[in-house]
């Protein structure tokens, strides 16, 4: 049954997640497009961070507010489990597995039977146990259980190596440039790496694409086999921030890692810190980054999806004007007090719009500037389908177009 599910998964992979792949690709492009302009429209300096690399990103706009060595390849440690959890959420949503499915624990998932797990964080699974996917997922998220990762990988894919292949499939789907997985839990292994930016992309995908899975990340404790363990993300208890995730990690090679997300006045920020010196530094520096972001910036809804941005003449169609706007909401993150200084410009790919035009066809771009610097650009699209007109429309518009050209 396990192998059959795995076979079905690979057959359906491209079809089930095709729309998600496009969405994730857009997320990725947006994040990478901010790299060169993240700091040029503001003089606000982030706090000093004692880590090898970090990044701070606004969830809605995708704008990078601060970064250092964000594309450096680092050992991800247990941040690897964010991808493991993401895959679980996707498979649950697609109906290929169910939270109540029972997984039989074998020796490979037992801390005394698998030398790789010796001395690492576990949820204390025992051989022969029947454990639900819901419990295993919480063991992964809250207890950082490496045994739970092995158990669920074996259940879904038949063995860990095949599941790791699945993880790298998703890494490619999310367009992660500096990530490669070699195990399911994040324990140190040569050749496994990720970056602060890639981990931020995975975190955004987790929150946006599998929200039911993400809800578990704010739970503070979990008890299994009469053993109560607390969520290892200490920021969940912080009273000065509304943190609802995401994941800690620590190994000798990685140092202290933390991906965190918090909300303030409907604004969500995501920070990823890799290679911290101590767990105390990791937590405090992540708090400092998030607080600085909320204190320094506002995220505003600049343009609404389907809202008419402008009308332009169209030729050879059944109508003579077409509504243009954006397909998806456009959010901007700007320094506080600068919201009214944002300048919105647009360009068209062609001076003349001609029917037929498909809905959401890209005909130009909208440019958002602050301090004469481009913050982001968004595709300018057709908001309504424009079909070809009749012979009279053609004759009339031919004359209209020639008069316009003569005037120009």
Angstrom distance (rounded) from CA 154 to CA 106: 9
3-state DSSP assignment of residue 267 = strand
Residue 264 is classified by DSSP as E
Angstrom distance (rounded) from CA 298 to CA 87: 32
Number of H helices, E strands in the chain: 10, 17
Angstrom distance (rounded) from CA 123 to CA 100: 18
Find the catalytic residue in 81, 90, 216, 247: 81
Strands 53-58 and 64-68 come out as: antiparallel
Angstrom distance (rounded) from CA 342 to CA 350: 25
Find the catalytic residue in 53, 61, 78, 203: 78
3-state DSSP assignment of residue 197 = helix
Is position 144 annotated as part of the catalytic site?
A: yes
Number of C-beta neighbours around residue 41 at 10 A: 21
| Partners of 335 in the β-ladder | 297
Cα dihedral 179→183→186→189 (10° resolution): -90
Angstrom distance (rounded) from CA 162 to CA 98: 20
Angstrom distance (rounded) from CA 342 to CA 332: 9
**Radius of gyration from C-alpha coordinates of the chain:** 25
Residue whose C-alpha is closest to residue 81's, from 132, 157, 130, 139: 139
Residue whose C-alpha is closest to residue 75's, from 201, 253, 249, 258: 253
Angstrom distance (rounded) from CA 85 to CA 212: 11
Is position 78 annotated as part of the catalytic site?
A: yes
Q: Assess whether the previous peptide bond of 113 is cis (omega < 30° from 0).
A: no
Angstrom distance (rounded) from CA 395 to CA 240: 67
Find the catalytic residue in 61, 85, 121, 144: 144
Residue whose C-alpha is closest to residue 28's, from 174, 170, 210: 174
Which residues are designated catalytic? 78, 81, 144
């Amino acid at each position: 049954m396990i192998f059959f599910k795995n076979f079905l998964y690979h057959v359906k992979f491209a079809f089930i997640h095709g729309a998600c792949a496009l969405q994730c690709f857009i997320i990725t492009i947006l994040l990478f497009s901010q790299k060169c302009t993240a700091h040029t429209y503001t003089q606000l300096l982030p706090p000093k961070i004692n880590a090898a690399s970090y990044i701070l990103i606004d969830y809605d706009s995708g704008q990078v507010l601060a970064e250092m060595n964000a594309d450096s390849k680092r050992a991800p440690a247990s941040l690897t489990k964010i991808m493991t959890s993401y895959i679980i959420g996707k498979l649950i949503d697609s109906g290929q597995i169910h939270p109540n499915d029972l997984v039989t624990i074998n020796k490979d998932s037992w801390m005394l039977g698998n030398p790789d797990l010796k001395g690492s964080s576990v949820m204390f699974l025992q051989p022969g146990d029947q454990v639900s996917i819901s419990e295993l997922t919480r063991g992964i998220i809250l207890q950082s259980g490496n045994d739970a990762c092995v158990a669920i990988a074996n259940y879904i894919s038949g063995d860990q190596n095949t599941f790791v292949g699945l993880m790298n499939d998703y890494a490619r789907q999310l367009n992660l440039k500096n990530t490669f997985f070699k195990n399911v839990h994040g324990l140190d292994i040569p050749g496994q790496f990720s970056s602060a930016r890639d981990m931020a992309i995975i975190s955004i995908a987790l929150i946006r694409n599998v929200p039911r899975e993400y809800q578990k990340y704010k739970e503070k404790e979990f008890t299994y086999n009469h053993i109560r363990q607390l969520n290892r993300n200490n920021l969940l208890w912080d009273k000065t921030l509304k943190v609802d995730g995401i994941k800690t990690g620590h190994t000798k090679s990685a140092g202290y890692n933390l991906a965190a997300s918090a909300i303030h006045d409907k604004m969500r920020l995501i920070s990823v810190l890799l290679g911290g010196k101590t767990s105390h530094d990791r937590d405090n520096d992540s708090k400092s980054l998030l607080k600085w972001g909320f204190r320094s910036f506002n995220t505003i809804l600049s343009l609404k999806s389907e809202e008419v941005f402008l009308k332009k003449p169209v030729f050879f169609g059944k109508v003579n004007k077409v509504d243009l706007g954006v397909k998806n909401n456009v959010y901007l993150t700007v320094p506080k007090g600068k919201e009214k200084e944002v300048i919105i410009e647009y360009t068209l790919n062609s001076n003349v719009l001609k029917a037929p035009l498909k809905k959401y066809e890209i005909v130009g771009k909208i440019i958002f500037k602050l301090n004469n610097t481009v913050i982001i650009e968004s595709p300018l699209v057709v908001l309504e389908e424009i079909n070809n007109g009749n012979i009279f429309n053609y004759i009339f518009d031919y004359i209209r177009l020639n008069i316009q050209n003569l005037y120009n």
